[in-house]
Amino acid sequence: MNNMNRRKFIQQTALAAGVLAVPHWLHSEEKINKVKVGLIGVGMRGQVHLANLFKRNDVDVVAFADPDQTYALPRVRKILEKNGKKGVLEFIQGDYDYQKMIETVPMDVVIISTPWEWHIPQGVEALNRKIVVGMEVSGGMNLKECWDIVNASEKNNTPVFAMENVCYRRDVMSIFNMVKKGMFGELLHLQGGYQHDLRGVKFNDGKDAYGDGVEFGDKGISESKWRTPHSLNRNGELYPTHGLGPVGTMIDLNRGNRLLRLSSVATKARGLHNYIIHHPKGGKDHPNAKISWKLGDVVTTSIQTENGETIILSHDTNLPRPYSLAFRVQGTQGLWMNDGNQIYLEGISPEERWEPSKKYLDEHDHPLWKKYEAEAQGSGHGGMDFYVLNALIECVKRKAEFPLDVYDLATWYAITPLSEKSVEKKGALVEIPDFTRGKWKTKKPIFGVGEEY
């Protein structure tokens, strides 16, 4: 398909799907060979994206914005220097200097990797300037901002890519592949979550991001500065996307299916307090030992879907435990469990016996992983960081629809404020809005379909 035809095709598909407004950049005659990228937020996460962007020859990093001159800036400059990049503009004069960047520097895409509360406001501002947004993951601050990003994207005909890297995890993509081949039958029940002992991230010594200590907020640095206050003031599924994103692609979320309602329950909060009082730099007399933490140590969220599946999410970041995203993918013909890495497929596995899943994961390795294995190596998080960036850039170059879009982002983000509301009401049911406003009925699944991104 040549470019003209592709454009027509996309327009027609969009029209057929009831999407009347086509993103403005799809109309552009200009072929993008080199994507101009700016970054808002170049802390630990943004730096990974920066380094990966420099590995690509179809990207021009034009500018970044970050107010942190003491910790982030020297590290970023080192990355620039190491890659021989001199022309990258810096916007480092305070929290709002990013506004000057998106106002003055021409760019196709901005990648936002800032503290959670900044995500949506910054995304909306970029969209209002017709800049495509690559949005890092988190949970939403409130329901309104989830609508804000949808409305801004629609109003400006400018798309958002939801940068959930776990959707591209190798085992997850193998399972996705097997799901689409029908090997699990009709899907019924899915689990996922974020089970990660973040105590050493939520607290540090105020000098190094992963420096042993019990400080946070004003006295902390990096994530402990901005992430930990959420554990102090909020109780709910604070980080839903790593669990929900991948299972969403399997059940065609927002593309033939949608989330209907949820209920969240939280355990008591013990982990962070225990960490402080037992830490060599903490103790019972440390000022932080007096703090009452709001976030329950394990938060479980039950979600029901339009198509009759149930999804269980687990948020568990305050306790000693091995890392696990706790996936379970279960259909009428079998199930895969991430914990224990076990699989059972009726008629294939020995009767009623688990098999190690490795054999199947290898056999059904997704075409994208076969294709880009070498490029992905060393990109971060086991290679998946390559894929999420690759999809962003390749879609922009092709002016193609993002496989994880603003409706996915809004739906994922909404889980957080909705689960907070549910926990506050002791687990009461909460309705989940349809951010597509009915378009889920006609939109077709496109994640993981092609062999290019």
User: Using CB under 8 A as the criterion, which residues of the chain lie in contact with its own copies when the complex forms?
Assistant: 185-186, 188-189, 197, 261, 263, 265-268, 270-271, 274, 297-298, 300, 302, 304, 307-310, 312, 316, 319-323, 330, 332-335, 337, 339-342, 344, 346, 352-354, 426-429
Nearer to its own copies, 31 or 353 (CB): 353
Nearer to its own copies, 145 or 171 (CB): 171
Nearer to its own copies, 126 or 172 (CB): 172
Nearer to its own copies, 68 or 316 (CB): 316
Q: Smallest gap, in angstroms, from Cβ of residue 193 to its own copies?
A: 12
- DSSP type of residue 445: P
SS3 105: coil
Q: Smallest gap, in angstroms, from Cβ of residue 309 to its own copies?
A: 6
Q: Smallest gap, in angstroms, from Cβ of residue 223 to its own copies?
A: 17
Q: Smallest gap, in angstroms, from Cβ of residue 327 to its own copies?
A: 12
Token pair of 210, please?
């992963």
Nearer to its own copies, 390 or 411 (CB): 411
Nearer to its own copies, 94 or 283 (CB): 283
C-alpha 370/C-alpha 174 separation (Å) is 11
Longest Cα pair distance anywhere in the chain, in angstroms?
70
Nearer to its own copies, 151 or 333 (CB): 333
Q: Smallest gap, in angstroms, from Cβ of residue 8 to its own copies?
A: 39
C-alpha 182/C-alpha 153 separation (Å) is 34
Residue-wise burial string across 301-338, b where 16 or more C-beta atoms lie within 10 A, e elsewhere: bbbbbbeebebbbbbbbbbeeeeebbbbbbbebbbbbb
Q: Smallest gap, in angstroms, from Cβ of residue 420 to its own copies?
A: 16
Strand partners, 162: 135
List helix spans (H) across 83-207.
Answer: 97-104, 116-128, 143-155, 170-180, 199-202
Nearest to 197 by CA among 146, 248, 271: 271
Q: Smallest gap, in angstroms, from Cβ of residue 323 to its own copies?
A: 6
Q: Which amino acid is at 260?
A: L
CB contact at 8 A, 368 and 386: no
Q: Smallest gap, in angstroms, from Cβ of residue 320 to its own copies?
A: 4
C-alpha 237/C-alpha 44 separation (Å) is 23
Token pair of 5, please?
């035809």
What contacts 376, CB < 8 A, 6 or more positions away?
369, 383, 384, 386, 387
Nearer to its own copies, 330 or 390 (CB): 330
C-alpha 73/C-alpha 182 separation (Å) is 48
Q: Smallest gap, in angstroms, from Cβ of residue 349 to its own copies?
A: 8
| Rounded (to 5) percent helix, strand, coil in the chain | 40, 15, 40
CB contact at 8 A, 329 and 188: no
Q: Smallest gap, in angstroms, from Cβ of residue 311 to its own copies?
A: 9
Q: Smallest gap, in angstroms, from Cβ of residue 364 to its own copies?
A: 19
Nearer to its own copies, 129 or 270 (CB): 270
Nearer to its own copies, 86 or 353 (CB): 353
Q: Which amino acid is at 55?
A: K
C-alpha 352/C-alpha 90 separation (Å) is 59
Nearer to its own copies, 84 or 320 (CB): 320
Q: Is the dihedral of CA 422, 428, 432, 433 positive or negative?
A: negative
Pairing of strands 259-266, 355-356: unpaired
Please, what is the angle between helix 116-128 and helix 97-104, to 10°?
Answer: 30
